[in-house]
Structure 1
């Protein structure tokens, strides 16, 4: 009995030792776990390397990656994705179709991110991640989709019978390429539909119908008429030519009109004729006589339109066709008359020459203001009588060559009144006009010299 007990004890301890040894040996072997299996080896210099295996149950869309080495996963994913990226998709708009593959759109699978997701979520299915090459996408889509783009059409206008006729603006459209690509990138590769509706966006016109309406004139804001003698044919012809050069001019808000630039040089080569002009206080023949009546008539129309005067000079002497202080002399290219459209609408200039009358009208947007001109004569200057000997006239004969007129110093204001009767007054200037001497030619022919 004692011998049996000893035999049993030896067997027990032998078995126990075997189990302990086995347990220790098993502990040295890498164990399986839910994320990955690792096998280790040592090279000749003791460097440790690892081969990671994707856990069971991991899928990318419909691709099973279970047990795939991580190092081999990119190739497997690229091979799986290749056919799908080459499949033809149809881009649609208004029943028009554009066939194109995802790859041609610059879209690829982001393999690196997909592998990261496959390792991060063991045992579960993950969605493929798409990426895009912006340059390829832009070049491919802009070219293929340009037929769907329609440029916006700016509003325009023309003037017919002193009225603004507006051609309305039209909005354009363009494919929202960024949105199209963005929507595709939100899907996994297997979720991208085979037929894709193109997202469109409106392209507004730069110049809208409303902006043209805001610019359009609606009434005559300033008008002035001066008289001239039709018997002075050359002067009348010069006046008519200058008025014609101004007729129909359009000034947008902020623009300035130069009389000299608009009318141009007054020379025989440009069609202007000899007529009386004022030189050093005397009326003498010169090319372009009569032009200053046009600039002065325009000046008064501008004043009554309440537009901004940029440059204006009075004559040396008083002229007959406008009151003192309301003239504007010009002489190409040095003396100019300029005014600026300081309103918010188009200013449209019309001239009308009829028998003995020149009228200048300025069209603009009605403001409700009324404009008038006030003058104050500060003093008058007497003229002198000058006798000039003329050997072409017989002795004793006297001919008046120039009528005398007084000089004057005058102050001028522009007065504005609104619809409520409120009044504003702007000083325009103090103008000094020299007297015009009365000149007689006295005949000396036949008088012997002593």
Structure 2
């Protein structure tokens, strides 16, 4: 039994030996044929062009002829949505070195030691060998072309916004616009990368999109005016007029979500000449002096009153040193860069939208939202108002004739006022919210009396 098994194994080994021998002879014969040929080995392609079986000169001519057919045709096709931009070789000075490419194809399977060469020839025959195209081009020209294309695609993101009718009551929502910007560097790299393997590249533009901060969905429930407030100003004061309009523009179309805070100084920014503001009169330490951004406090005060009537939560508010004339006493809100801010929060259950309108001589702020039916009426009232009379200060003036009087300052009355936010329903008061007690100090009345002795003649 063991003798029979040994014979079977011996026969199998002999059989496998013959197979290996014939395979080796066949492979050796094939490799020998490879070694004796003076042509590019079968399976070699240059940029997708088959050159196997060709001499170097024939391969060079084929590569040149193949490239020539693209000379007046697009080699790059940039695409975006349904738009297309074909780019020809002349557009960016595209050329190839057909001679060196043919030499490179011929060298496949002819470099390295014998084992490496035989292995490379075998793999080329069975799997193919691709040579990439070493292109010569003017990248700056391609970037310039793509920059021009990008200018027609790029656009900034635009928030959805609300457009009101002239009386402010009719509200239309204008949908948002998604921002777009072509990534020129990545798009050029993608195009050139494809060209190195094939003399044609269809390349979708790589576009970065920016989602707007406010979408039409955010404004969907804003369908009415919750509150508004108007103040008057003198347009003949050009500097003050410009300051008012600049500040109002920065608070136009502001969305506040529930529990979100609004900071006047953050929203408006610094009142500086670099931001376009002019010098106009403001009260500083009781004196009316010119300062950058004079008049902006009328914007904060007008907004303050609209916010009060909208029943929003006041977080930070400061009165002026002296009561301004454009709002009732105790209903102002002053602001100053880095020092005094006006801050409130949206304590309503829905989004609100703040906008304004500036005409020739008045500014109106609107708080838009979703008005509740049968909401109470809101008004602001000063329940106590005390007039503070100015003191009279006598100053002796040795340069003024004895007994003569000159009124240097008429002085100004001061006020002590307490304000409340009052809610009424069907003519009956239902709540009263304390807002503030403001003291506007009086400005002294100053009289100069001469003490200069009269000289006798």
TM-score, normalised via structure 1 length: 0.49
Which structure's residues are more often helix, by fraction? Answer: 2
TM-score, normalised via structure 2 length: 0.48
Decide which structure has the larger Cα Rg and report it: 1
